[in-house]
Amino acid sequence: MSTPKYLNPRSRPATRAADLTRRMTLEEKVSQVVHDAAAIPPLGVPAYNWWNEGLHGVGRAGVATVFPQAIGLAATWNTELMHRVAVAISDEARAKHHEEVRRRGHSGWYTGLTYWSPNINILRDPRWGRGQETYGEDPYLTARMGVAFVRGLQGDHPRYLKLVATPKHFAVHSGPEALRHGFDARVSLRDLHETYLPAFRACIMEAKAASIMPAYNRTNGEACAASRTLLGDILRGAWGFKGYVVSDCGAIDDIYRHHGLAASREEASALAMRAGCDLNCGNTFCSLSGAVLMGLIGEDELDMAVRRLMEARVRLGMFDPPETVPYAQIPFSVNDCEEHRQLARRAAQESIVLLKNRGILPLGSGVRRIAVIGPNADDVETLLGNYNGEPSRAVTYLEGLRARLGKQAEVTHAAGCDLTGPRASSYAEAERLARNADVAVLVLGLSPRLEGEEGEANLIDKGGDRKDIGLPDSQEGLLRAVLNTGVPTVVILLSGSALAANTAAGDADALLAAWYGGEEAGSAMADVLFGDVSPAGRLPVTFYRSLDQLPPFEDYAMAGRTYRFFDGEPLYPFGYGLSYSTFAYSGLRISRRKIGAGKPLTVQVTVTNTGARDADEVVQLYLCRWGAPVPVPLRQLAGFQRISIGAGRSETVRFRVDPRQMAWYDDDGVPVVGAGRLGIAVGGAQPDASWGSRTGPDAPAGNDIVTTAFEIAGPEVSLAV
């Protein structure tokens, strides 16, 4: 007998998938559209579990390298590093998968090749417990980090996918967690296309993500997993997406149980699949057999979903001899290897944001006694975030300092208090150790036990969101007790989002944001504290002073949110971060002072390291639109590069600004480039609030920030959605 087309590696993946699908019975097809897909022995189709996690390392599959949580990776502002991290994750994922297949004959839960990462939702509000999984509040930063991550996961082979990346949660989704199964996120078309969709668009159209996951909630009345607007008009229509759509877990059930958009499992399943959802995390799609027989959906529509899923499996090499699939040759020894551990250390180093320094850092050789204090100082859990793997060895902040100093200095330790609660009885021990030290290092903040996904954060409401953005009371008391000793104090904040750490910002000698830093967090922090590495991380979110500065959590309008629309005085602004060196900007040039609408612009600037040590700098380019006919952001990130510059040396940095970045969005959400004046600011930080928003784009933008302006000539050009 001749070889079936679906087993012929020389045939096109779509042809192979169609051939395999037509050989299946109705029941066999239905068995393939749930995440725990059954085997079809007569066709040689092995069982396969589509559910795998790789947010910042291979998750929930035993020992794996654990990189900084996603928000920490975003704080590096380094797309090249992000790509390297994703390549390491995909190496370990492939190695684990093929080892599992060799041992069991097929892969199981969390050892497959289809990964439900990255989370590219916009972190519009710091209360959201899952903000730690995102790349922050800015659409452009999120898009660039997302594209780098997707490309690193999926590889660059012309025939085979290394893994399938699944950007989530499409598209308007960022809490409240407790309401997500029945909530309707109402947004204007301008906010939808200007803020909530750009990162998804980039991951689909640029990085060619092979899958996407809709959100649990409704958006403007439509369940995201059954939205003809999101899945049909935008995703498969305007963006030309050819991959498969997988629901979040239980989201198809939500369509009839909580959203009230269907009367039964059959109706909900048919509604979702007809809108473009191909795969169900859960078992609601098992009712599709009945839905076909009831005439709610045609078998040809089911066939389309199965073909998309089978094409993904073909492109992953699941039906080809392992020796013909290049990624099947990755050895299991790559998992948890030393090279990946060092990469995790570098990522943690680059993620650290120095928020304040009164000259105490870097610590010198004269420091002989260090008191390391705080509930997060020696806690592995706070290094790992959520959706994490298990490191073979994790270095806490206490362990990192002890390893760095050896016998050079005495390092003492006291937790001082619990993460939350009234426990103050240990303050006395913390104060005693601080008074006997040359410097106190307080490791405070949050934990995955205080923020996370629905049902995860076990020390607060099971929703996982925060009701307050300050330090927990017990830690605030500990901080004040140590500060009152008068000992020089360094405060390290761990969190998955912004903290209103007003006391530390005002009274500590140094303040650093360290996120959930992964398995090498302690080593990386020691490197920074003692000056082996100059910090250069930047905030991917605005640090507000209090919740009084924010609109209600349930309000999805962008007005008053994030640095793009917030006109108040933050504690620390988006893009902020200090260094142990200093930098000067000069020679800002643009390709032309006047361009036609729809034409790109090039920008060039010279950056000089005016300090005495080699250091990284994050060069940031912002635009402002002056006198636009519709509401526009106060300022908008349009380019960034992290560069390393030797002391006394200069580097020339170039940016390309595309028409889409110069556009304003009309009431229908269409990007339009029209005549008008735009300002450009380039520096190591966000321009001052007054730049562009009150006095025009020629207003001073702050120290070490250079500005210019240019004209766009009409007529108006409408860009593709």
CATH number at residue 41: 3.20.20.300
Whether 3 is covered by a domain: the verdict is no
- pLDDT tens sequence across 100-153: 999 998 899 999 999 999 999 999 999 999 999 999 999 999 999 999 999 999
pLDDT at site 447: 97
Tell me: do 306 and 410 sit in the same domain. Answer: no
Whether 83 is covered by a domain: the verdict is no
For residue 612, give the 3-state DSSP assignment.
coil
Amino acid at 3: T
CATH number for the domain spanning 689: value is 2.60.40.10
Q: Of 254, 379, 451, 453, which residue is the catalytic one?
A: 451
Residue 695 has pLDDT above 60, yes or no: no
Do 487 and 435 form a contact (C-beta atoms < 8 A)? yes
Residue 424 has pLDDT above 60, yes or no: no
Tell me: do 132 and 210 sit in the same domain. Answer: yes
Mean pLDDT for 573-585 is 98
Strands 650-657 and 601-609: antiparallel
In the chain, pLDDT over 90 holds for what percent of residues?
Answer: 94
Do 186 and 245 form a contact (C-beta atoms < 8 A)? no
Whether 85 is covered by a domain: the verdict is no
pLDDT at site 366: 93
CA distance 178 to 469: 18
pLDDT at site 422: 67
CA distance 113 to 16: 19
pLDDT at site 150: 99
Query: 455-464, long-range: CB within 8 Å, 24+ apart, which pairs?
Result: 456/129, 456/386, 457/129, 459/419, 459/420, 460/420, 461/178, 462/178, 463/129, 463/176, 463/177, 463/178, 464/129, 464/130, 464/177
Tell me: do 313 and 223 sit in the same domain. Answer: yes
Q: How far is CA 211 from the centre of its chain?
A: 17
For residue 208, give the 3-state DSSP assignment.
coil
Mean pLDDT for 649-675 is 97
DSSP 538-605: --SS-B-S-GGGS--TT----TT-HHHH--S--SB-TT--B-SS-EEEEEEEES-SEEETT--EEEEE
Tell me: do 498 and 520 sit in the same domain. Answer: yes
* 369-373 β-sheet, strand order: 353-357, 510-513, 489-494, 439-445, 369-373, 410-414
How many structural domains comprise the chain? 3
Tell me: do 397 and 458 sit in the same domain. Answer: yes
CA distance 349 to 39: 45
Whether 70 is covered by a domain: the verdict is no
Question: Is 28 annotated in the active site?
Answer: no
Tell me: do 292 and 428 sit in the same domain. Answer: no
Q: Of 125, 248, 617, 688, which residue is the catalytic one?
A: 248
Tell me: do 558 and 611 sit in the same domain. Answer: no
Q: 217: how many CB neighbours lie within 10 A of its CB?
A: 27
Tell me: do 610 and 534 sit in the same domain. Answer: no
Range of the domain at 27: 15-64+93-149+160-334
Instruction: Give Cβ neighbours of residue 602 (< 8 Å, ≥ 6 apart).
Output: 590, 591, 654, 655, 656, 657
pLDDT at site 696: 64
CA dihedral 515, 377, 616, 132 (to 10 degrees): -10
Sequence length of the chain is 721
CA distance 497 to 540: 9
CA distance 418 to 586: 49
CA distance 260 to 214: 18
| Pure H helices in 245-318 | 251-257, 265-275, 288-293, 299-315
* 198-202, 501-505, 674-678: least confident range: 674-678
Give the pLDDT band (50/70/90) at residue 406. Answer: very high
Residue 416 has pLDDT above 60, yes or no: yes
- pLDDT tens sequence across 43-52: 999 999 999 9
Give the pLDDT band (50/70/90) at residue 75. Answer: very high
Residue 243 has pLDDT above 90, yes or no: yes
Instruction: Give Cβ neighbours of residue 233 (< 8 Å, ≥ 6 apart).
Output: none
Domain termination site, one of 311, 334, 357: 334
pLDDT at site 425: 61
Tell me: do 380 and 499 sit in the same domain. Answer: yes
CA distance 109 to 310: 18
Q: Which residue, among 29, 646, 109, has the nearest Cα to 278 in the 3D structure?
A: 29
pLDDT at site 283: 98
Q: 559: how many CB neighbours lie within 10 A of its CB?
A: 11
Tell me: do 302 and 405 sit in the same domain. Answer: no
Domain termination site, one of 280, 311, 334: 334
CA distance 698 to 688: 12
Question: Is 222 annotated in the active site?
Answer: no
Whether 274 is covered by a domain: the verdict is yes
Residue 462 has pLDDT above 80, yes or no: no
Q: Is 227 exposed, middle or buried (0-12, 13-18, 19+ CB in 10 A)?
A: buried
Do 225 and 248 form a contact (C-beta atoms < 8 A)? yes
Q: 106: how many CB neighbours lie within 10 A of its CB?
A: 16
Mean pLDDT for 288-309 is 98
pLDDT at site 694: 53
Whether 495 is covered by a domain: the verdict is yes
CA distance 149 to 86: 5
Q: Which residue, among 513, 376, 521, has the nearest Cα to 57 in the 3D structure?
A: 521
What is the C-alpha radius of gyration for the chain, rounded to an integer number of angstroms? Answer: 26
Kindly state the helix (H) or strand (E) to which residue 401 belongs, with its residue range. Answer: helix 397-405
CA distance 414 to 406: 19
pTM: 0.98
Do 284 and 257 form a contact (C-beta atoms < 8 A)? no
Q: Token pair 């660039």 is at which residue?
A: 144
What is the overall mean pLDDT for the chain?
96
Going by the DSSP 8-state scheme, the letter that residue 4 receives in this structure is: P
- pLDDT tens sequence across 186-202: 999 999 999 999 999 99
Tell me: do 453 and 475 sit in the same domain. Answer: yes
Whether 366 is covered by a domain: the verdict is yes
- pLDDT tens sequence across 610-638: 999 999 999 999 999 988 999 999 999 99
pLDDT at site 2: 82
Instruction: Give Cβ neighbours of residue 694 (< 8 Å, ≥ 6 apart).
Output: none
Domain termination site, one of 284, 311, 334: 334
Q: 260: how many CB neighbours lie within 10 A of its CB?
A: 12
Whether 155 is covered by a domain: the verdict is no
Going by the DSSP 8-state scheme, the letter that residue 180 receives in this structure is: T
Tell me: do 369 and 292 sit in the same domain. Answer: no
pLDDT at site 701: 76
pLDDT at site 626: 87
Do 600 and 663 form a contact (C-beta atoms < 8 A)? no
- Whether the CA torsion 127, 133, 137, 139 is positive or negative: it is negative
